[in-house]
Structure 1
Amino acid sequence: MVFRSPDLRGRTAFVTGTTRGIGKEIALALAEAGCNVVSTGKTVDDSDTDLDGTIHETAAACEERGVDAHAIQLDVRDADAVRAAADEAIEAFGEVDIVINNASAIQQAAVEDLPADRFDLLTEVNVRGTYLVSRAFLPHLGEIGGGHILTNAPPIRLDRAPGKAAYAWSKLGMTFVTLSLAAELDDSIAANAFWPVTLIDTRATRYFGMGTEDDWRTPAVVADTVLELLDRDPSAFSGHAVYDEELLRAAGIENFGRYNVTAGDPEPKAARMFDPEYERP
């Protein structure tokens, strides 16, 4: 079975961290499905860095797919900036009914090797950012009668993460905020978290030497997971932290070779970062 995107025409998504990688892939997949996109992140000029991509380039690529897009520079740690960005997005589109917490900081190091300010950065971007962005849209989602809040973070199935304690803590914090929020909301607003089974081919994956290309999948598998979550009724599916493969298999997908980085259809290893005991279905 081939994955079929839902029809998101007339809807608008506010996505954090869209300059490259998973965030950009999610934004483009939403646009392909007809969804308007608010592209947010810190990078507006990549001329003085070795990292390609800006929020404006992502917005332009979304518009090439026939939707409206709007770029907003945003530091998700800044409460005033988040509130202003939410207001700007709502003013630009009238309604924003999809909020996707994708922006994250990553640094993997043992406790002894990670300075306190780096711990603070991971916590502030990942946990505080998710908290602020989600919270900023709650009044609006209530006024328009519902929507989705999605967070790129793992299921909480871990009691230790040697060599990556601060990063794991911050990512699990994103999930905890999202699932707690789901229990606070009425059934018109869904709050769910999503996470890949395998490592995803991003700059961070390559920079930190996390496996090889045979172990990676493209960001498209995560983007399709987001689309599948958005195709579900908020009143029937909220408060879940899902793995991408499990959700897509439940939707009828059997062949995941299209998502592999390496040709020849290898079977990428399941990620062991946050769930050492995980075995794929």
Structure 2
Amino acid sequence: MTNPQQSLADRTVVVSGGSRGIGLAIGLGAAKLGANVVLLAKTSEPHPKLPGTVHTAVADVEAAGGKGLAVVGDVRNEEDVQRAVDAAVERFGGIDIVINNASAIATDPTEKLSAKKYDLMMDINVRGTFLLTKASLPHLRKSAHAHVVTLAPPLNMNPHWLGAHPAYTVSKYGMTLLSLGWAAEYADAGIGFSCLWPETYIATSAVTNLASGDELVARSRSTDIMADAAAAILTRPAAEANGKCYIDSDVLADIGVTDLSRYGGGDNPMWDIFVDKV
């Protein structure tokens, strides 16, 4: 879904974890609107269980009409993140948009969750979001269309979600709190800090590889819904988006898109984590 009124021409987007899934979909959506897309991801060689690499992802970006740049690196590593930011600025002259997409999930009960998995979630989800945003801020300040979109949920304090998987929840809410904090800290900087979260499961490799993956995928919407919602946010004035936590379907409803059948998921899609079905 490309709206002719939308354009990201000549704007530079940096996406973490952009070699596949939602990150790549958002990158492709931005490319279709004319953006330069820099993908930071660890996958430089094919993975036996996961599709594509950061290099094939960039090829897809360029086939979609944008200019692409692959940076192999780990969002947890400060040097890798700075290298990605420097490469974006060197190639394209600046940074206009950051997509904090890289994320790890482990929903094991507390007594069974290893410290290693706990640390991984905190390092990728919270530390990675902090590092990429911090490194990009000097360049975002110079942009007339600066946005930072973090793939994190609204703060839902329903005890069900708090108790379902506390460690994962605190890592994702940590991302949200960073975004809301930056929205206040940089309120006068002209940067739109917002969060975006799917209403339903999204058909990604993370879902496919679950034990009941086939059933879940049938009840999941495509990554295109997140790409279209992100595009709608990124083409808004930064001030309008600043401090907001969006659900993908609500963003699309705001621009008049209420028939979501094109995105799949069937008549009874699986509601996502942190979303209360009303």
TM-score, with structure 1 as normaliser: 0.91
Q: Secondary structure at the match of 1:154?
A: coil
What pairs with 1:158-237 in structure 2 (closer than 5 Å)? 158=157, 159=159, 160-185=161-186, 186-208=188-210, 209=212, 212-237=216-241
User: 1:10 offset after TM fit, Å?
Assistant: 1.1
Q: Are the aligned partners of 2:208 and 2:217 in contact in 1 as well (CA < 8 Å)?
A: no
Inter-partner Cα distance in structure 1 for 2:125 and 2:271? 23
Kindly report which structure 2 residues correspond to 1:67-86, keeping only aligned pairs within 5 A, or say none. 67-86=66-85
Q: Does 1:52 align with 2:51?
A: yes
Q: What residue number does 1:142 align with?
A: 141
- Secondary structure in 2 aligned to 1:174? helix
The 8 Å contact of residues 17 and 23 in structure 2, kept in 1 or not, is answered as: yes
Alignment of 1:75-154 (within 5 A): 75-154=74-153
Give 1:244's match in structure 2, choosing from 240, 248, 265.
Answer: 248
How far residue 81 of structure 1 moved from its aligned partner, in angstroms, is 1.7
Secondary structure in 1 matching 2:75: coil
Give, as a single letter, the amino acid of the residue that structure 2 aligns with 1:251: I
Partner SS, residue 241 of structure 2: coil
- The alignment status of 1:7 with 2:7, answered yes or no, reads yes
Structure 2: 5+ residue runs without aligned partners? none
> Would you tell me which structure has more helix in proportion to its own residues?
2
CA distance in 2, matches of 1:93, 1:213: 37
Contact 2:222-2:263 at 8 Å conserved across structures: yes
What is the aligned length?
272
Contact 1:3 1:253 in 2 (8 A): no
Cross-structure match for 1:37? 37
Q: In structure 2, how many angstroms separate the alpha carbons of the residues matched to 1:79 and 1:129?
A: 9
Q: What SS does the corresponding residue of 1:236 show, helix, strand or coil? A: helix
SS in 1 for 2:256: coil
Is this contact kept in 2: 1:182–1:191, CA < 8 A? Answer: yes
Task: State the one-letter code of the partner of 1:137.
Answer: S
Measure the CA separation in 2 of the matches of 1:67 and 1:3: 14
Q: Secondary structure at the match of 1:15?
A: strand
Does the 8 Å CA contact 1:218/1:260 hold for their aligned counterparts? yes
* Aligned mates of 1:50, 1:213 — CA distance in 2: 16
- 8 Å contact kept, 1:59–1:70: yes
Deviations 1:35-93 (A, max 9, x none): 110011000001x5232211111111111123211100121111122112111111111
Q: CA deviation at 1:192?
A: 0.2
- Which ranges of structure 1 fall in alignment gaps of 5 or more residues? none
| Distance in 2 separating the partners of 1:52 and 1:3 | 25
Does structure 2 conserve the Cα–Cα contact (< 8 Å) formed by 1:39 and 1:72? yes
Q: Aligned equivalents of 1:250 and 1:68: distance in 2?
A: 29
Q: Does structure 2 retain, via aligned residues, the 8 Å contact 1:187–1:234?
A: no
1:127 to partner: Cα distance: 0.5
Query: Which whole-Å CA distance do the structure 2 matches of 1:120 and 1:151 have between them?
Result: 20
Distance 2:143 2:21 in 1: 31
Identity of aligned residues (%): 36
Distance in 2 of aligned mates of 1:175 and 1:75: 21
CA distance in 1: counterparts of 2:52 and 2:89, whole angstroms: 25
Answer with 61-70 or 201-210: which moved more: 201-210
Q: Say what the alpha-carbon RMSD is for the aligned residues.
A: 1.8
Deviations 1:178-219 (A, max 9, x none): 111011112511000000011111111233347633421001
Which segments of structure 1 move beyond 4 Å, counting only runs of 4 or more?
Answer: none
> 1:163 offset after TM fit, Å?
4.3
| Contact 1:109–1:163, Cα closer than 8 Å, also in 2 | no
Contact 1:76 1:133 in 2 (8 A): yes
